[in-house]
Each structure stands twice: as structure tokens, then as C-alpha cells.
Amino acid sequence: MKKWSNEPMLPRHVELCQRVFDAARAARGISADSDANDPVAALVLTLYRHGVWDEEELLRRVLQALDETS
């Protein structure tokens, strides 16, 4: 993983993170009004900012982290 990137996120970056967020929520059955949404979003953005830019790898790591914290 790379060092934290503080570059602005372009629309395509936001869209990728949104897809991963939505896929992670769906995979773990997290509803739209759940308190678990904020930690999932934070995981996605943190990993992305640390250089995990491949969509499949980002989703895999987010799901792995969610499994470790449940």
C-alpha cells in the first residue's frame, strides 16, 4: 500500500469508491439507514487514499476488514 495521497478526487474516483461502497453494503446486507454505513465509507476512502485503486482489490480489502471487525 502506498503512502496517503492528499490529491483531489476526480468524479471517476468518486464513482469507483461509490461502486465499492455499494457492493460492500450489498455483500454484507447493510441497509441504507444502518449505522454501519459510516465505517464502510471510511474504509473505502482510507484504502483508496492509500493507493488501493483497483476496484476488485479495493472491494476485497474492504470486505476482509469488515469480516475482521464483526
Q: Is 6 domain-assigned?
A: no
Total structural domains in the chain?
A: 1
Q: Is 32 domain-assigned?
A: yes
How far is it, in rounded angstroms, from Cα 11 to Cα 3? 22
Query: Is-above-0.85 flag for pTM?
Result: yes
Q: Is 35 domain-assigned?
A: yes
Q: Is 4 domain-assigned?
A: no
Q: Is 59 domain-assigned?
A: yes
Q: Is 3 domain-assigned?
A: no
Q: Is 2 domain-assigned?
A: no
C-alpha cell at 44: 473505502
58 close to 20: Cβ distance less than 8 angstroms = yes
Neighbours of 21 (CB within 10 A): 20
pLDDT at 3 over 70: no
Domain that holds residue 33: 11-69
Encode pLDDT of 27-69 as tens digits: 999 999 999 999 999 999 999 999 999 999 999 999 999 998 7
How far is it, in rounded angstroms, from Cα 32 to Cα 20? 14
